[in-house]
């Protein structure tokens, strides 16, 4: 009888604090790496997780699309430099870009095929990459 209680307390100690990641139900004893109480909870948790990831990717893609549209409109308008305050007013988010690199001391950013120099107060030298790589072809 005593042995049973000792074993039970050991098992109980291992199981204590293990809860289903989806519903929070205390997990029955079983595999030590078990995370869910049921297949339904496992599916629900994974669907929710993927939805969250997908929404996060869509949000970033939306910000990049908007940045690109703003930069593209600036180029078309012949504007190659603008203060960040003005860009912010247009809805530009300087935290998002598709690439960044240093050109000497200059902090360069890219939004797809548009390149620009970013400083703490403005962006400048906004241009399509292909006009920089082969300016003679464009002329």
* Segment contacting Zn ion by CB under 5 A, of 22-30, 89-97, 99-107, 127-135: 22-30
Decide: is 41 part of the binding site for Zn ion (CB under 5 A). yes
Query: What three-state secondary structure class fits 131?
Result: helix
Interface residue with Zn ion, options 22, 71, 74, 82 (CB under 5 A): 22
Phi, psi of 26 (to 5 degrees): -65, 135
Give least dist CB 11 to Zn ion, A.
20
Decide: is 70 part of the binding site for Zn ion (CB under 5 A). no
Give least dist CB 28 to Zn ion, A.
11
Interface residue with Zn ion, options 20, 74, 111, 115 (CB under 5 A): 20
Give least dist CB 37 to Zn ion, A.
4
User: How far apart are the C-alpha atoms of 50 and 40, rounded to whole Å?
Assistant: 15
Secondary structure element (H or E) that encloses residue 90, with its range: helix 84-90
Secondary structure element (H or E) that encloses residue 61, with its range: helix 39-76
Phi, psi of 27 (to 5 degrees): -75, 140
């Amino acid at each position: 009888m005593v042995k049973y209680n000792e074993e039970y307390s050991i098992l109980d100690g291992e199981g204590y604090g293990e809860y289903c990641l989806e519903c929070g139900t205390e997990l029955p004893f079983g595999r030590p790496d078990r995370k869910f109480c049921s297949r339904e909870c496992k599916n629900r948790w994974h669907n929710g997780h993927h939805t969250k990831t997908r929404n996060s990717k869509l949000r970033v893609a939306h910000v990049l699309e908007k940045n690109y549209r703003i930069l593209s409109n600036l180029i078309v308008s012949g504007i190659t430099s603008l203060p960040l305050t003005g860009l912010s007013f247009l809805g530009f988010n300087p935290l998002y870009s598709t690439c960044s690199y240093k050109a000497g001391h200059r902090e360069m950013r890219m939004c797809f095929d548009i390149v620009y120099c970013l400083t703490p107060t403005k962006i400048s030298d906004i241009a399509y990459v292909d006009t920089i790589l082969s300016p003679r072809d464009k002329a």
